[in-house]
Amino acid sequence: MVTLAQLWIPVLGAALAVFVLSSLVHMVFKWHNADYLKLGNEDEVRGAIQKLNPAPSQYLVPHCPDPKSLQLPEVRQKFVDGPVGFVVLRPRGLPGIGPQLGLWFAFTLAVALFAAYVTSRTLPAGAAGLGVFRLAATVAFLAFAGGAVPNGIWMGKPWRSVAKELLDGLLYAVAVGAVFAGLWPH
């Protein structure tokens, strides 16, 4: 059996590989930039939100606290008239990328650790590289891409964006699988 202590280098290497790969995806190739559109009346929308001064959180428009309220004609009409959507508001101020990058790296580390755990409990030392790759990459794919489809289903995220997130998850999974396969204990 392989212990987690034996896999600290693959865990760190996989997390670092995903971190670098995701930086390339978002800062060099920028294939997600087209996923975020600008409202034609952005200043009016911003003004209306500022006037209300809502706390940073997520909001549903129109708000429907329970399914029974959908039976009310005035609530149903709001959905017909639109807009219908989810709004996520963050704290005011210039975006600080540092804390978000730190959290992202911690997440990549957690995914690599779970991949290490599952793989170490399933495969012995000296296992074939392809088997190690397949198992570690599968666990990583589920973690990195698992939320994309539910966001398309429940949050209305455009399917084109969901497809890109699935592709991201696949790329990150390949990186994790490759690092584990290359550094698997013999």
For 77, the domain range is 57-90
> Does 163 lie in the same domain as 86?
no
The predicted pLDDT at position 7 comes to: 98
Q: What is the pLDDT of residues 18-59, one digit of tens each?
A: 999 999 999 999 999 999 999 999 999 999 999 999 999 999
Beta bridge partners of 88: 58
Q: Per-residue pLDDT averaged across 148-177, rounded?
A: 97
> Does 111 lie in the same domain as 73?
no
- What confidence category does residue 96 fall into, taking pLDDT thresholds of 50, 70 and 90? confident
> Does 176 lie in the same domain as 133?
yes
> Does 28 lie in the same domain as 74?
no
The predicted pLDDT at position 95 comes to: 86
> Does 173 lie in the same domain as 113?
yes
> Does 174 lie in the same domain as 82?
no
Helix (H) or strand (E) holding 122: helix 97-122
Interior CA angle at 35 toward 33 and 41, to 5°? 95
- Whole-model pTM: value is 0.92
Longest CA–CA span in the chain (Å) reads 67
Q: What is the pLDDT of residues 107-119, one digit of tens each?
A: 999 999 999 999 9
> Does 36 lie in the same domain as 113?
yes
E strands, the chain, where?
57-61, 85-89
> Does 123 lie in the same domain as 77?
no
Q: Count of domains in the chain?
A: 2
User: Looking at residue 24, what DSSP letter applies?
Assistant: I
The predicted pLDDT at position 68 comes to: 92
